[in-house]
Amino acid sequence: MYGTIMHAPGDVRYEELAMPTIQQPTDAIIKLSATCICGSDLWPYRGANAITAPMAMGHEYCGIVVEVGSDVKTVKPGQFVVGSFVLSDNTCPHCAHGFQSSCEQREFMTGAQAEYARIPLADGTLVSTDSQPDEDLIPSLLAVSDVLGTGWYAADAARVQAGMSVVVVGDGAVGLMGVLAAKQMGAERIIAMSRHKSRQDLALEYGATDIVAERGEEGIAKIKAMTNRIGADAVLECVGTQESMTQALQVARPGSMVGFVGVPHGVQFDGQKLFFTQVGMLGGPAPVRRFLPHLMDLVLSRKINPGKVFDQQIPLADVAEGYRAMDERRAIKTLLRV
């Protein structure tokens, strides 16, 4: 079978690989229906994370189960499944609290940009549909695996509730999913910070009520003017830089929460400043497994269309072009057809 290996920054290859096999009795093997490239895949691609050995890329996935280990009970060959990018047993105390992304057996998925993939901890990680989903729903079901689940967690961590004002910092795929999530949770005002026309349009389509293109002091002033002078009731930070984190904290009102899901790179906080700002924070890798059943239902009943975030869809064999397109920001997010 074929899959994607990153050999060095900028060097992504589609190549022949060994067919994955059951290694633990809790494993499943799936045939991918579709997979995609994540913003976080660009960190090593751009040389920001070290590559010490060839890396099997890809952690977002959905597809058909082809084989299961002897201990797997909840999914079986022939079923369509979606799983989280974080593998979890879904039974440990962390999982019981809904933080499967801190599972005691946690592993991070790899090797999903391929025709077949091994899914460890299948029972705790995968959720199956009752029947084969319509073909046009595949992109949206794929989105649940990480990008939608992560945007949803940002809104959940920021404790978005009906009637609230919400600011989304970051107009990448996760930020756009954050807009969708805030809308679903009943936010009254959703302010998307974005400077790119195509992303602004998608944000509006997903439920943003306002676009703020300005950053820094100007952006803060504009948002305060929209939020009773005090800042938003909830803020979603979907980038992970010092600049975006500072922006997020400055547009949040005292007593509100910033849900931060962009992996922080070089971000520092001063304790006393945070104290007097009186803004709360909760972040981390999204516990997508907690949200999977609900989000899959929303997709299958056609209440949401997160798949629209894939503005480039190409064959898996062209994966290298997908990385280039996302690196050059020609694509928001690239779906790879298998």
**Binding site residues, a second copy, CB under 8 A:** 93-94, 97-99, 101-102, 104, 157, 228-230, 233, 240, 242, 245, 253-255, 257, 260, 263-272, 274-285, 287
Q: Which is nearer to a second copy, 255 or 315 (CB)?
A: 255
- Token readout for 240 is 């992970």
Shortest Å, Cβ 239 to a second copy: 11
Q: What are phi and psi of 58, to 5 degrees?
A: 110, 125
Q: Report how far residue 296's alpha carbon sits from residue 23's, in angstroms, rounded to the nearest whole number.
A: 28
Shortest Å, Cβ 125 to a second copy: 17
Q: Which is nearer to a second copy, 102 or 129 (CB)?
A: 102
Shortest Å, Cβ 303 to a second copy: 27
Q: Do 164 and 233 contact (CB within 8 A), yes or no?
A: yes
List the strands of the sheet with 55-56, edge to edge.
Answer: 11-16, 2-8, 55-56
Q: Which is nearer to a second copy, 207 or 287 (CB)?
A: 287
3-state secondary structure (DSSP) of residue 323 = helix
Shortest Å, Cβ 156 to a second copy: 10
Shortest Å, Cβ 259 to a second copy: 9
Shortest Å, Cβ 130 to a second copy: 30
3-state secondary structure (DSSP) of residue 318 = helix
Q: How far is CA 141 from the centre of its chain?
A: 12
Q: Which is nearer to a second copy, 267 or 314 (CB)?
A: 267
Q: Do 160 and 182 contact (CB within 8 A), yes or no?
A: yes
Q: Report how far residue 112's alpha carbon sits from residue 126's, in angstroms, rounded to the nearest whole number.
A: 14
Could you count the other beta carbons within 10 Å of the beta carbon of residue 91? 15
CA atoms within 13 A on the CB side of 213: 7
Q: Which is nearer to a second copy, 94 or 289 (CB)?
A: 94
Residue 200 is classified by DSSP as H
Q: Report how far residue 64's alpha carbon sits from residue 81's, in angstroms, rounded to the nearest whole number.
A: 6
Shortest Å, Cβ 296 to a second copy: 22
Question: Per residue in 128-137, is it b (16+ CB within 10 Å) or e — as a string?
Answer: bbeeebeeeb
Shortest Å, Cβ 116 to a second copy: 30
Handedness of CA 183, 191, 38, 315 (dihedral sign): positive
Provide the strand spans (E) within 54-184.
55-56, 61-68, 80-83, 86-87, 107-108, 116-119, 126-128, 165-169
Q: Which is nearer to a second copy, 47 or 254 (CB)?
A: 254
Q: Which is nearer to a second copy, 105 or 305 (CB)?
A: 105
Q: Which is nearer to a second copy, 23 or 228 (CB)?
A: 228
